[in-house]
Copies of this chain bind each other. A is one copy, B any other.
Amino acid sequence: MIIPQIPKGFRDFLPGKMNLRKKIIGAVTEVFESFGFEPMDTPCLEYAETLEGKYGEEGDRLIYKFQDRGGRSVALRYDLTIPLSRVVATYPELTRPFKRYQIAPVWRADKPQKGRFREFYQCDIDIIGTESAYADGELVIITYLVLKKIGFDNFLIRINNRKLLNAFAVKEGINDRQVPSFFRSIDKYDKIGRDGVMKELQNNFTVSKSLETKLDDYIFSEENRKQTGLSEIAKLVEGMPAGDEGLRELETIRDSFSAYGVPEKYYMFDFSLARGLDYYTGPIFETIVTEPRIGSITGGGRYDNLIGLFSRNPVPATGTSFGLERIVTVLDEMGIGGSDGTMTRILVTLFDADLMADNLRIAKTMREADLNVEVYFSPQKLKKQLSYAANRGIPFVVIQGPDEISQGTITLRNMNKGTQEVLSLGDLISTVKNSVLQ
């Protein structure tokens, strides 16, 4: 006998959980499609060289990599952005702007721990081929709509712009080339705190007193950073052309929110947001859930230079990603997941093996009326069949013996109320359908 086991950090999704995931994916998809995004899929395996060197040193180490039978080095997909960039370079005939969504698993050979898995789903939307900040704004509007639709309210979308961060760093005397490393350190604030970040910065850069004060005021102070507005950010980058451009983009994004009616309580311009990946070039955004505290549940930004790695022509691009696993976790903790639901409405019990043909016929009629109906296969004791329905969470049970058949009636049992009524098949169908609408 083989002991049944799955690799650490991997999960089975049994029907209850899977129904919840399907519900969320359905809601997310509906919003994506309402904005003109189309589905796309890429292979789970890519050549290793396609993925390597794109996710930073730590990311590279987490790539699941192996040799295929032909001796080529292949790797499991690490995210959905690099495969998309590869696709855009492969098919230059794709109409631009190209708006696609992809909802698919990715793999990272991370240390498994609570809430962190080696196989998890990402839901990504990206807009390829436009430099317009309205595209970035649309991604944030969608973020807001998706989260509201699946039942979130306690969330805050943080927004910043890499151009502003760059302008700030250069203005403060950080060498152009060292800017990414400067912000990688700052991005660690949530993990290693103010002193940890300052230590890293002082090791690598000359940190002036004035810079330290600004970091304390705008980045390390949770108090202050909540109050940062665009006008305050403007002061930090005054006189830097890249700063002006970055500000104009954020203003466009703000305009799009107000035109679309996104309430101000759901977003903030936050100069402390840096985001880890090197490839961002413009607006960046991430969503934090204010309660329960679980880290970010969405994140993204503009990456105008990434596709250029695979293509002679650089192509502007922006995108964002929803972390399905964290969203499910939060919904579960908030008790609004309803994770044990079944989509089956009726169980047709079997009184006697000879009545199976009758059961199949009434089940057929009920299915043709768009009800999900299960037929029980064995003429076991009714009690056993009822307890099967109860365990599955099926809300209605049909009981039909020879008496009912000769009278042309059916008994319908409401499992939640414990009540029974004798009905015609037509009335039974409307009773169940009306109860579904409740």
Contact = CB atoms under 8 A, between A and B. Distances in A.
B50 A12 contact: no
A183 B64 CA distance: 40
Contact of A41 (B18, B373, B375, B377): B18
Contacts of A64: 68
A46 B374 contact: no
A87 to B, nearest CB: 6
A310 B70 CA distance: 32
Interface in A23-54: 33-36, 38-47, 49-50
A135 B377 contact: yes
Interface in A250-281: 255-256, 258-261
Nearest to A32: B372
B68 A378 contact: no
A4 B86 contact: yes
A344 interface: yes
Nearest to A366: B34
Contact of A39 (B4, B15, B364, B374): B15
Contacts of A69: 109
Contact of A14 (B11, B40, B364, B377): B40
A87 B12 CA distance: 8
A259 to B, nearest CB: 4
Contact of A132 (B22, B310, B378): B378
B344 A134 contact: no
A359 to B, nearest CB: 8
Contacts of A135: 377
Nearest to A344: B36
A367 B357 CA distance: 46
Interface in A77-110: 86-87, 89-91, 94-95, 97, 99-100, 105, 107, 109
Contact of A367 (B34, B370, B378): B34
A360 B260 contact: yes
Interface string A316-343: 0000000000000000000000000011
Contacts of A373: 34-36
Given A14-B94, A361-B259, A5 B36 contact: no
A391 B40 CA distance: 17
A391 B371 CA distance: 39
Nearest to A54: B2
B35 A367 contact: yes
Given A13-B41, A36-B344, A68-B109, A50 B4 contact: yes
Interface residues of A, number: 96
A1 interface: yes
A228 interface: no
A5 B344 CA distance: 44
A72 B377 contact: no
Interface string A93-133: 01101011000010101000000000100000001001010
Contacts of A109: 68-69
A2 B50 CA distance: 7
A205 interface: no
A33 B343 contact: yes
A38 B10 contact: no
A382 interface: no
Given A13-B39, A34-B371, A259-B357, 12 more contacts: A4-B87, A5-B90, A6-B42, A12-B90, A14-B87, A18-B41, A44-B107, A64-B68, A66-B66, A97-B388, A132-B377, A259-B360
Interface of A: 1-8, 10-15, 18-19, 21-22, 33-36, 38-47, 49-50, 64, 66-70, 72, 74, 76, 86-87, 89-91, 94-95, 97, 99-100, 105, 107, 109, 119, 127, 130, 132, 134-135, 138, 255-256, 258-261, 309-312, 342-344, 347, 356-358, 360-361, 364, 367, 370-375, 377-378, 388, 391-392, 394
6 contacts: A14-B91, A34-B373, A35-B367, A36-B372, A36-B375, A36-B394
Q: Which 9 A-B pairs have the closest CB atoms?
A: A36-B374, A15-B38, A66-B66, A10-B43, A259-B357, A132-B377, A259-B360, A13-B41, A4-B89
